[in-house]
Every structure is written in C-alpha cells, then in structure tokens.
C-alpha cells in the first residue's frame, strides 16, 4: 500500500496509522540495530579470536622453535620429542582456528592443548603456560 497517497482517504490514515507508525519505526530501528549488532559482534568476536589465535599461535611457535633446536639430535629421546612437536605443529596448522564457524573448533582446540601439555612435559619439564588452563570458546 502506498502510504503517501493514502492520505487522500483520511479514514485510511487513521485506521492504518497504527500499523504504519510501527512499520516506519521498525525500519529505522532495524537499520540502527543492524549497525549496533555488527559493531558489538565485531568487538566481541575480535576479543575471542585474538585470545584463541594468540594461544594457538603460541603453540605453533613453541613447537616450531623446539623442532629447529632438536632437528640435529639423533638420539631416541630427541626423535620421540620431535615427533610429538611435529604432531602439535601439524595439528595447529591443520584446523582453521581463525574461523569461528569451524564445526569442530572446540574439540580441535582441546586436542591442541592436550598435545601441548604432552610436549611441554617432555621438551621442557616444569614449563607451564597460562593458556593451558583452558578457555571457554564462544562460537
């Protein structure tokens, strides 16, 4: 219905005004809500993405550096450590931790944490990283 031309019939504008006001305001609110939602969502998403990425990147950097340091060692213990480090680095690279829509993000993150615990115990006894305390993910 064309509301502008509806003013020709005064009864129409009265009876339908209720609906018209609601619709007009709804449209305005929808635009504002979309803007607000986008900003709020971005802000929250950024924080969660940053935290998780910092943690996963930490694991990758840790594994990569240890791999470089141990790569020339040929003893069995070092080989075993190397395998664990490679597994951690590969796992972190294998899943898209920067994609909140990734279906198995939480299990993959937990798996990376578990692998890191294992690696840090064997590669560096006594080392502990605050990220391993566990963080709740918000998909």
Q: Which of 1, 2, 5, 24 binds other proteins (CB under 8 A)?
A: 24
Q: Which of 2, 10, 74, 75 binds other proteins (CB under 8 A)?
A: 10
- C-alpha 55/C-alpha 109 separation (Å) is 9
Q: If binding means CB under 8 A, how many residues of this protein chain bind other proteins?
A: 68
- C-alpha 88/C-alpha 123 separation (Å) is 12
- C-alpha 73/C-alpha 133 separation (Å) is 31
In degrees and rounded to multiples of 5, residue 65 shows phi and psi of: -65, -45
Smallest gap from Cβ 93 to other proteins, in A, equals: 11
Measured in whole angstroms, the distance separating CA 88 from the mean position of its chain's CA atoms is 19
Q: Is 114 among the residues that bind other proteins (CB under 8 A)?
A: no
- C-alpha 89/C-alpha 56 separation (Å) is 10
Q: Which of 5, 82, 98, 136 binds other proteins (CB under 8 A)?
A: 98
| Footprint of other proteins on 60-89 (CB under 8 A) | 60-66, 68-69, 71-72
Task: Give the residues lining the site for other proteins (CB under 8 A).
Answer: 7, 10-11, 13-14, 17-18, 20-66, 68-69, 71-72, 97-101, 123-124, 127, 129, 138
């Amino acid at each position: 219905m064309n509301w502008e031309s509806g003013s020709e019939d005064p009864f129409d504008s009265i009876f339908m005004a209720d609906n018209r006001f609601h619709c007009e305001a709804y449209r305005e609110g929808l635009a504002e809500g979309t803007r607000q939602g986008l900003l709020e969502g971005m802000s929250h998403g950024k924080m969660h993405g940053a935290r998780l990425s910092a943690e996963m990147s930490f694991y990758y950097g840790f594994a990569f550096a240890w791999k470089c340091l141990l790569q020339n060692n040929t003893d069995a213990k070092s080989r075993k450590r190397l395998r664990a480090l490679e597994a951690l680095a590969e796992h972190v690279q294998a899943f898209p931790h920067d994609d909140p829509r990734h279906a198995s993000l939480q299990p993959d993150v937990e798996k990376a944490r578990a692998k890191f615990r294992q690696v840090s115990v064997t590669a560096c006894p006594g080392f502990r990283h605050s990220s391993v305390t566990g963080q709740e993910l918000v998909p």
